[in-house]
Structure 1
């Protein structure tokens, strides 16, 4: 067991700009699942249970697989999925290419739950989840959306036209 005094005694190692601070622990070859260029992966999200949900743009499909590469399932979608975020343990929110819709899918039951179209949401922008709310780009703003109702619950004004959002927690 590490004690607080031992942590204080450890020297601080400053990082330099451009120096990698992350180390790869695992690599998975999904070529057999995605296909050589035919799938065209644009986004991937890892669920809390370790499953990967992958947007296959050209195949119009969400691929769901384990981190060891074994395929679990797939969900056919009507449009071309290009951006995905986890909403909870079994639900993902997906943006379609050139669409002002957000589609919600239950990945356990392979069901489309609903589509929402928040006013002011731009096309060709990403999506993320922060504090159990969806975040997308609007015109000179970020839109915070309640995924259950589809309503914009907050608008954060920006000095520019945001093109992408990414969330880390």
Structure 2
């Protein structure tokens, strides 16, 4: 998206995205999954921006590529750290067993950030319906991730 995202634009985007994956099931049942993926995308976008700024500073200091790479993986230099398993490029390439994978993503992100995720860490991506079907399927999650991939969620791209 080239324009800044407004709160109304985000609300519309979330409604459309949720409607497309939930079918005839109540929207409230999908809210936690949509919020979790929204949070993960926002966290990644902010992390990538911080990482880019830090990388440029380290290059300007004349550090070697290996020193830069090592420094960029230090948790303590970021407000919120995104572990490798949770990085957006890796998440969006994951095509199978997304439910289990996303559970691991949130557990590891929670561990690396000393409990900052709170309730998001307890989202059960492996939840099953009364019929024994996955509540949210891999294809639902792929669609959700692909939809969020179109957004840039850094502060400079938000207008609210």
**Which has the larger strand fraction?**
1
Q: Would you tell me which structure has more helix in proportion to its own residues?
A: 2
| Higher alpha-carbon Rg | 1
Same fold (TM over 0.5): no
